[in-house]
Amino acid sequence: MRKKITLITGANGEIGQGLIKLLYKKGINNIVAFDLLPSNNEMQNMITDQIIGDILDSNLLESINEKYEITELYHLAALLSTKSELYPEKAHEVNVTGTINLLTLALKQGKLNNCPVKFFFPSSIAVYSIDKNNLNKITEEENNNPKTMYGCNKLYCENIGSYYSKKYSPYLIDFRCIRFPGIISPYTIPTGGTSDYLPEMLHSVIKNKPYKCFVKKNTRMPFMIMPDAVSAIYLLMNAQKNKLCYDIYNITSFNPSPEEFLNLLKEYVHDVNVSYQINDERQKMVDSWPSDINDSKAFEDWGWKPKYNLKDSFEIYLIPALEKFYNIKVN
């Protein structure tokens, strides 16, 4: 008998750790974490098993197919935008070939289980490219012409996921996708992303460390905090299929500039040491992304609504969580 599981690739990543905590809290007790390295001790207590390996290892994926009955698959493993621009071939291998490998595994599982695998794919606002002066809230079907390797990877995988989910009847994959904005967590700092500047600034300032912001102080793009990001995944994955008019949805919460974010931070931490050292390549990437996005389809189809606006994110969540995490008291 193959054990029924919820498989999470990229389990050690920021979204992976946040999602495992939420699913565990919701009573999901069959989580299998799949990543290149072992899960940390906190995660170990919330998972039933772990797979240490590479999503590019076809033998490993075949052994997973033989051992488990996958009911839900959250494919979070990816190289983010800055790292993908530095290592484009590696990015294509991980972000595209890796995703195709997991979709192929899901197809095999759908046939084996005679039941579609619910497949979550995290896409990104990087699939858009737009003139930064255009302050319109971009909808899902607009400006799908990415100017980064990461954005190209994500857009292609969205299309392949939709294609695989409609190729067979009855369908073998129930593909569901969210285009995430930048995400801010009090427990982890992103690596290799281009939206990293706000989480990096937050963690540096709260620890009274200097921070050099790599984009201009008036740069604007959509963000949200991790609790809203993982709650959105849970909400979408548990929505009735017949309520979903689309495979792919935008979500967002707020879109502060670094200057606005820092001014809010200063309400909690008085002596800050933040300067600007612009990285032209990263600035160009963020400048190609929309300043704001329209997430009304997610609201209409599956009731998405951020719990935290910018002010509440600080007041109710980030500052208390950071104080506890770093065992400090902001002045």
Alpha-carbon distance of 93 to 85, in angstroms, equals 13
How many residues contact ligand AKB, by CB under 6 A? 11
**Bridge partners of residue 7, in order along the sequence:** 32, 73
Nearer to ligand AKB, 68 or 150 (CB): 150
Stretch that binds ligand AKB, among 102-110, 124-132, 205-213, 320-328 (CB under 6 A): 124-132
Site mask for ligand AKB (CB under 6 A), range 145-184, x = bound: -----x-----------------------------x-x--
74, 150, 211, 249: the catalytic one is 150
Stretch that binds ligand AKB, among 1-9, 98-106, 121-129, 252-260 (CB under 6 A): 121-129
Alpha-carbon distance of 80 to 130, in angstroms, equals 20
Nearer to ligand AKB, 110 or 193 (CB): 193
Nearer to ligand AKB, 176 or 282 (CB): 282
State whether residue 190 is helix, strand or coil: coil
DSSP line for 10-77: TTTSHHHHHHHHHHHHTT---EEEEESSPPPHHHHTT-SEEEES-TT-HHHHHHHHHHEEEEEEEE--
The verdict on whether 24 is a catalytic residue reads no
Nearer to ligand AKB, 175 or 180 (CB): 180
Residue with tokens 């858009």: 128
DSSP secondary structure letter of residue 2: P
Burial of 149 (0-12, 13-18, 19+ CB in 10 A): buried
Q: Which residue minimizes CB distance to ligand AKB?
A: 193
DSSP line for 198-256: HHHHHHHHHTT--EEESS-TT----EEEHHHHHHHHHHHHTS-GGG-S-SEEE---B--
Stretch that binds ligand AKB, among 92-100, 107-115, 192-200, 315-323 (CB under 6 A): 192-200
Alpha-carbon distance of 114 to 110, in angstroms, equals 6
Alpha-carbon distance of 245 to 18, in angstroms, equals 27
Q: Does residue 99 interact with ligand AKB by CB under 6 A?
A: no
Please report, as a single letter, which amino acid is at residue 112: L
Q: Does residue 126 interact with ligand AKB by CB under 6 A?
A: yes
Nearer to ligand AKB, 50 or 95 (CB): 95
Residue from the set 6, 195, 219, 252 that interacts with ligand AKB by CB under 6 A? 195
Stretch that binds ligand AKB, among 24-32, 107-115, 189-197, 251-259 (CB under 6 A): 189-197
Q: Is-contact 91 51, C-beta < 8 A? A: no
Q: Does residue 124 interact with ligand AKB by CB under 6 A?
A: yes
Beta-carbon count within 10 A of 90 CB: 13
Q: Does residue 194 interact with ligand AKB by CB under 6 A?
A: yes
Q: Does residue 80 interact with ligand AKB by CB under 6 A?
A: yes
Site mask for ligand AKB (CB under 6 A), range 225-264, x = bound: ----------------------------------------
Residue from the set 161, 193, 199, 258 that interacts with ligand AKB by CB under 6 A? 193
Nearer to ligand AKB, 110 or 182 (CB): 182
Interface residues toward ligand AKB, by CB under 6 A: 80-81, 124-126, 150, 180, 182, 193-195
Catalytic residue positions, numbered: 150
